[in-house]
Structure 1
Amino acid sequence: MAFAESMRGVVINVIDGDTVILLEKTPERMRTHRIQLEGIDAPERGQNGYESAKEYLEKLVWGEMVTVRYTGNDRYGRILGEVWHGKMFVNEEMVKEGWAWIYEKSSASRRLISLETDARKAQKGIWSEPNPISPWEWRAAERRKKSDRKNTGEISY
């Protein structure tokens, strides 16, 4: 892994199973950061598993002091980072317990692949569903639905 910057702060909000809000306090100021857990993708709002994934991440880090090691930002401006709570690597924990997919576009970690394979075999979390749909497939289907609704004769004069 390339050199990464790091920050410490308290998780003051959990947006979903792969995004948190971190409050960083420095002697100069306090500021918040939106952190995307790098290398994973959790169910979206409206998707099966969303609430459970969010609740599990809340259980792990809400109100806790964490360290975030990051290398950059995603296309939405969120900090991409590895979140550590003590010795626990939170990104891996979400995959290990079946509440997130590995996001192969950004992570080819053999460890994450192995953890996801084990969670699938054990039918943990989202893998207990009969046909879990990845968040990226779900988002694409939602975009298609929106596009189809827009193109189904809704003509304004």
Structure 2
Amino acid sequence: MSNRFQWLAAIAGVAVSIAIIGAASATPCLPEPQGEGRVAAVIDSRSFRLDDGREIRLAGIEPAFPGTSSAERMRSLATLLAGRKVRLHADDDTPDRYGRQIAFVWLVGDEKLAQQEILAEGEALVSPDVSDMECAGTLLAAETAAREAKRGIWADPTAIKNTESPGGILAGIGRFTLVEGKVLSVRQAGATTYLNFGRNWTRDFAVTIPRRALANLAAAGLEPKSLENKRIRVRGFVEARTGPRIEVLQAGQIELIGER
């Protein structure tokens, strides 16, 4: 079984294995060191500026929808980071298109991972682009613990959208969202595979998997056809193509509910 598929399985079982995942590594999310600095200002709900002028975006998390307002999330991040000395870790220091360095951020002194703290308070969601299984497991454990405790965004019963209510999913167009439901059918049309959650293809929610992503899923041991009649949770950005859609490019976007 590949590491990627082990991670997919771990996502489904994380609610019952938080202690195991947390103990797997005393220092998860530690790619290459990218320097240190002191936080001078919080820019938005997941970005801040260091006293040397560098702008940093927190890797591995996405703002949640629905949830607290952007201003409230900024205050939460400021409470955690303002004036603190931090250590950065990332595979490289290449800036994103906005000039921000994307990194895992550790608080110097008490050695807390900022992303883990934010997730544990229910203020964000785990992004599926965390490639390291151990790191992903740690972040997912924090997200799950917050969800079970109904902290932050998880106090809202609509934090995870239901595929039986496509209108509620459409309200989050362009936002990173969790959607849960049963896959009724798997169909291919041209270069796209569809996971259909309803019988009305122009209205109901569907997951789209482009042909270029099939190899990524296959490498993780995930075949779209195997998801038929399974209950899954999908994380990604909501698009509107007649009905609401989430495009899946990575196996980490799909969680099998109740299976390990």
**Normalising to structure 2: TM-score of the pair?**
0.45
Aligned position for 2:54: 33
1:16–1:42 Cα contact (<8 Å) kept = no
> Is 2:21 aligned against 1:21?
no
The percent identity for this pair of structures is: 28
**How much has 1:76 moved relative to structure 2?**
3.6
Per-residue CA deviations over 1:10-65 (Å, capped at 9, x if unaligned) read 111112221111123xxxxxxx1111111111248xx6412332211101111121
1:97–1:124 Cα contact (<8 Å) kept = yes
Tell me whether 113-122 or 4-13 shows the greater mean CA deviation: 4-13
> Is 2:47 aligned against 1:51?
no
Q: 1:125 aligns with which of 152, 168, 179?
A: 152
What is the rounded CA distance, in whole Å, between the counterparts of 1:2 and 1:97 in structure 2?
Answer: 21
**How much has 1:75 moved relative to structure 2?**
4.5
Aligned position for 1:136: 176
**Normalising to structure 1: TM-score of the pair?**
0.71
Aligned amino acid, residue 123 of structure 2: W
For 1:7-156, what aligned pairs fall within 5 Å after superposition?
A: 7-24=35-52, 32-43=53-64, 48-49=67-68, 50-72=70-92, 73-85=95-107, 86=109, 87-106=111-130, 108=133, 109-132=136-159, 135-137=175-177
**How much has 1:77 moved relative to structure 2?**
3.4
Residue 3 to residue 51, structure 1, CA distance change in 2 (3 Å)? closer
Aligned amino acid, residue 130 of structure 1: P
Aligned amino acid, residue 40 of structure 1: I
Paired residues, number = 134
Partner of 2:48: helix, strand, or coil?
strand
2:42–2:74 Cα contact (<8 Å) kept = yes
Residue 3 to residue 119, structure 1, CA distance change in 2 (3 Å)? closer
What is the rounded CA distance, in whole Å, between the counterparts of 1:34 and 1:53 in structure 2?
Answer: 18
What are structure 1's unaligned runs of at least 5 residues?
A: 25-31, 145-157
Aligned amino acid, residue 76 of structure 2: Y
Partner of 2:176: helix, strand, or coil?
helix
Aligned amino acid, residue 148 of structure 2: K
Partner of 2:88: helix, strand, or coil?
strand
Partner of 1:71: helix, strand, or coil?
coil
Runs (4 or more) in structure 1 with deviation over 6 Å come to none
Partner of 1:67: helix, strand, or coil?
strand
Greater Rg by CA? 2
1:52–1:99 Cα contact (<8 Å) kept = no
2:57–2:101 Cα contact (<8 Å) kept = yes
Tell me whether 57-66 or 1-10 shows the greater mean CA deviation: 1-10
Residue 110 to residue 8, structure 1, CA distance change in 2 (3 Å)? same
